[in-house]
């Protein structure tokens, strides 16, 4: 039986439209999910939307919508965006779904019964003019006055439900110590460890319901106490479990991987595992917190209005010559993205450089050179490799096998860019080999056709394998390349990367240019008015 592999993304707030940040995290999840499926794992890939935030009520009202109408509209926008990207998620969870709400109620009931969630006093700085609590830091920074109206803040106490986080501090530290890969990358782990060692505080898990405030009524009510509703973050974290907490899907828990950005790593690496310990559930294997995309050197923000939005993304993804195509966009994000602990800059000129280097002049060019030569010298039929070449230094079967092994190792560490680099390096080697052996010159001498055949067989076979390694990033284009070089795009990783799958005599098709070169003098792709 295939081993389960469960990968999740954050569930995104529906008060916002999807932008590059959300799409990036889900793309990383998609690429890993696709690789693991290829490697024979039984994958479950989950993404979705987080819908019980207060802002859904206020923003919805500003647009003349009820909260659920607003959530429906924006959840649909996320689903549409993810379909556009070709994500292979197995489910899309919305926290307003009955299946989720019922589970959350059951988890909270369990925690109440165990005494890990309890009623206590909440004391904080209250901004009466705005009807909301502000944090201790905000209060201090504003000299204990309302940051909006300047009116004095008042200290207010109210009843709230809390989760007993400190109770699990020791066990959490032990878990992190025993599982060095639990929080990645390393820089995030060290930050989290530092913060845990400062001591954990109880966590509010509810907000009081106020009959005059519609926002306070939006959410899941506290079981047995309708004067409170469950805090949106607690509700949201439970999605990872609620969706697979059914007889058919229970095999997927615990998750192998939660992917997100560094903004929310505390919730995932500290609060979430402690909630799970309290519920008596096994803990996820890895919480991976990547860094941010910034744009042309500046942080993306609402006030700067410089988010790389879906319209711009779609402009880049138009097929050539208007744009670069979806797979090229996926390639840039996956190989140049902020998967490590530093932010990544989306710079148009860099996009063009990477596109031309890796795709147009890289695998695209190699594929077209090799198929052209096979057509020209062997009537489009794959030659055999019986001829002797003077380039014995290229032990192609070993080179290809080693590249596949390294790619697998990278993916096991979630080093997506590292794994993809193996695929592209193999295609570059093909180019280098053609350069070194010059089959186009040898072909002029009919006595050397056997040698030309051997060279081209090696090139075609290496390209086919490189396309398999690149397919989780560029599923459509690589399916095409695998097909052109006589491979089965649906074969498993082990089967597809075995040297010698390509049989002499197989028709090799030239097809359309895969990645036409982009002239650096061209302007960035234009957003098409919808």
Minimum gap (Å) between residue 284 Cβ and ligand MSP? 12
How far apart are CB 310 and ligand MSP at their closest, in Å? 14
Binding of ligand MSP by 292 (CB under 6 A)? yes
When binding is defined by CB under 6 A, the residue of 4, 7, 25, 220 that contacts ligand MSP is 25
In the complex, what is the shortest distance from the CB of residue 246 to ligand MSP, in angstroms, rounded to a whole number?
19
Asked if 100 is part of the footprint of ligand MSP (rule: CB under 6 A), the reply reads: no
Instruction: Name residues contacting ligand MSP, limited to 254-283 (CB under 6 A).
Output: 260-261, 263-264
Contact with ligand MSP (CB under 6 A): which of 300, 385, 400, 456?
300
Task: Kindly state whether residue 416 participates in binding ligand MSP, applying the rule CB under 6 A.
Answer: no
Distance of alpha carbon 220 from alpha carbon 443, whole angstroms: 73
Q: Which of 6, 7, 22, 284 binds ligand MSP (CB under 6 A)?
A: 22
Name the CA dihedral angle for 58, 9, 307, 13, rounded to a multiple of 10 degrees. Answer: 0
DSSP bridge pairs for 293: 344
Residues sharing a CB contact under 8 Å with residue 42, sequence separation 6 or more, in sequence order: 1, 2, 3, 4, 5, 251
Least distance from ligand MSP to the Cβ atom of residue 9, Å: 7
What are the CA-CA distances from residue 326 to residues 200, 283, 316, 337, 416 (Å)? 44, 36, 8, 16, 18
List the interface residues with ligand MSP, window 191-220 (CB under 6 A): none
- Quickly tell me which residue has 């505080």 as its tokens: 201
Binding to ligand MSP by residue 237, rule CB under 6 A?
yes
| Count of residues that bind ligand MSP according to CB under 6 A | 20
Strand ranges in 100-224 using DSSP code E only, listed in sequence order: 117-127, 132-134, 154-163, 183-184, 203-204, 206-208, 221-222
Residue (316 or 518) nearer to ligand MSP, CB? 316
Minimum CB distance to ligand MSP, residue 249 (Å): 18
* Residue 10 near ligand MSP by CB under 6 A: yes
Torsions phi, psi for 90 (to 5 deg): -85, -15
Give the range of 20-28, 382-390, 459-467, 494-502 binding ligand MSP by CB under 6 A: 20-28
* Tokens 């988890």 belong to residue: 107
Q: Which is nearer to ligand MSP, 242 or 427 (CB)?
A: 242
CA distances from 186 to 59, 173, 191, 286, 342 (A): 38, 15, 9, 12, 12
Q: Is 13 in the site for ligand MSP (CB under 6 A)?
A: yes
Contact 339, 417 (CB under 8 A): yes
CB of 263 to ligand MSP, least distance (A): 5
Nearer to ligand MSP, 184 or 458 (CB): 184
- Position with the least CB separation from ligand MSP: 21
Contact 47, 208 (CB under 8 A): no
Q: Of the candidates 21, 67, 124, 423, which one interacts with ligand MSP according to CB under 6 A? A: 21
Contact partners, residue 59, CB within 8 Å, separation at least 6:
15, 70
11, 111, 200, 462: which one contacts ligand MSP (CB under 6 A)? 11
Taking CB under 6 A as the rule, does residue 77 contact ligand MSP? Answer: no
Q: Which of 5, 24, 92, 182 binds ligand MSP (CB under 6 A)?
A: 24
Whether the link from the prior residue into 427 is cis, omega within 30° of 0, is: no
Among 293, 316, 396, 414, binds ligand MSP (CB under 6 A): 293
Q: Does 425 bind ligand MSP (CB under 6 A)?
A: no
CB of 209 to ligand MSP, least distance (A): 21
Beta bridge partners of 289: 260
Spatial distance between the Cα atoms of 266 and 273, rounded to a whole number of angstroms: 10
> In terms of CB distance, is 100 or 477 closer to ligand MSP?
100
With respect to ligand MSP, which residue has the nearer C-beta, 182 or 292? 292
Lay out the site mask for ligand MSP across 36-55 (x = CB under 6 A, - = otherwise): --------------x-----
- φ and ψ of 443, to 5 deg: -65, -15
The least distance separating ligand MSP from the CB of residue 426, rounded to whole angstroms, comes to: 29
Cβ proximity to ligand MSP, 292 vs 433, nearer residue: 292
State yes or no: cis peptide before 273, omega within 30 of 0.
Answer: no
Point out which span in 9-17, 74-82, 145-153, 280-288 binds ligand MSP (CB under 6 A).
9-17
Which segment (160-168, 275-283, 292-300, 378-386) binds ligand MSP by CB under 6 A? 292-300
What angle (nearest 5°) sits at the alpha carbon of residue 155, between those of residues 152 and 157? 150
* 176 touches ligand MSP by CB under 6 A: no
* Residue 476, CA distances (Å) to 110, 156, 186, 463, 514 in order: 46, 58, 34, 16, 11
What minimum distance in Å lies between the beta carbon of 55 and ligand MSP?
11
Q: Which is nearer to ligand MSP, 10 or 439 (CB)?
A: 10
| Distance, CA of 456 to CA of 402 (rounded, Å) | 20
Q: In which element (H, E) is residue 25 found?
A: helix 20-38
Q: Where are the beta strands (DSSP E) in 176-322?
A: 183-184, 203-204, 206-208, 221-222, 225-230, 257-261, 287-290, 293-295
CA 231 – CA 235 distance, rounded (Å): 6
288 binds ligand MSP (CB under 6 A): no
Interacting residues toward ligand MSP by CB under 6 A = 10-13, 16, 21-22, 24-25, 50, 236-237, 239, 260-261, 263-264, 292-293, 300
């Amino acid at each position: 039986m295939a081993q389960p592999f469960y990968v999740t993304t954050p569930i995104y707030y529906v008060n916002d439209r999807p932008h590059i940040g959300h799409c990036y995290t889900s793309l990383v999840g998609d690429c890993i999910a696709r690789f693991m499926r290829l490697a024979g794992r039984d994958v479950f890939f989950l993404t979705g939307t987080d819908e019980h935030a207060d802002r859904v009520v206020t923003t919805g009202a500003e647009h003349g919508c009820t909260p659920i109408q607003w959530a429906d509209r924006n959840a649909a926008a996320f689903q549409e965006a993810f379909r556009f990207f070709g994500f292979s998620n197995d489910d899309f969870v919305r926290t307003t779904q009955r299946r989720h709400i019922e589970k959350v109620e059951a988890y909270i009931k369990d925690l109440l019964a165990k005494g890990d969630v309890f009623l206590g006093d909440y004391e904080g700085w209250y901004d009466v003019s705005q009807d909301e609590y502000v944090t201790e830091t905000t209060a201090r920074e504003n000299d204990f006055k309302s940051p909006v109206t300047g009116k004095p803040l008042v200290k207010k106490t109210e009843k709230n439900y809390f989760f007993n986080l400190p109770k699990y501090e020791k066990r959490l530290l032990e878990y992190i110590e025993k599982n060095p890969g639990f929080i990645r990358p390393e820089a995030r782990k060290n930050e989290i460890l530092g913060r845990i060692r400062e001591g954990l505080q109880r966590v509010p898990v509810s907000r009081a319901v106020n009959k005059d405030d519609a926002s306070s009524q939006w959410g899941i009510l506290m079981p047995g106490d309708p004067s409170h509703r469950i805090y949106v973050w607690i509700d949201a974290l439970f999605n990872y479990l609620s969706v697979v907490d059914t007889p058919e899907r229970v095999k997927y828990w615990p998750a192998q991987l939660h992917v997100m950005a560094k903004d929310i790593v505390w919730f995932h690496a500290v609060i979430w595992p402690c909630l799970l310990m309290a519920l008596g559930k096994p803990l996820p294997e890895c919480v991976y917190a990547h860094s941010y995309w910034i744009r042309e050197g500046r942080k993306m923000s609402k006030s700067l209005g410089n988010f790389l939005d879906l319209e711009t993304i779609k402009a880049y993804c138009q097929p050539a010559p208007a744009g670069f195509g979806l797979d090229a966009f996926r390639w840039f994000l996956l190989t140049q993205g902020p998967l490590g602990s530093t932010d990544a800059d989306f710079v148009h000129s860099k996009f063009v450089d990477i596109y031309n280097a890796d795709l147009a002049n890289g695998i695209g060019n190699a594929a077209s050179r090799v198929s052209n030569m096979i057509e020209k010298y062997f009537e489009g039929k794959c030659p055999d490799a019986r001829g002797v070449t003077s380039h014995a230094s290229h032990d192609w079967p070993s080179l290809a096998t080693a590249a596949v092994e390294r790619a697998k190792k990278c993916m096991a560490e979630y080093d997506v860019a590292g794994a993809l680099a193996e695929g592209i390096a193999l295609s570059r080697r093909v180019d280098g080999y053609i350069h070194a052996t010059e089959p186009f010159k040898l072909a002029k001498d009919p006595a050397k056709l056997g040698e030309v055949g051997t060279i081209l067989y090696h090139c075609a076979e290496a390209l086919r394998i490189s396309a398999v390694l690149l397919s989780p990033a560029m599923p459509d284009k690589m399916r095409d390349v695998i097909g052109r070089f006589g491979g089965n795009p649906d074969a498993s990783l082990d089967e597809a990367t075995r040297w010698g799958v390509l049989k002499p005599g197989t028709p090799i098709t030239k097809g359309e240019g895969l990645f036409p070169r982009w002239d650096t003098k061209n302007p960035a792709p234009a957003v098409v008015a919808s």
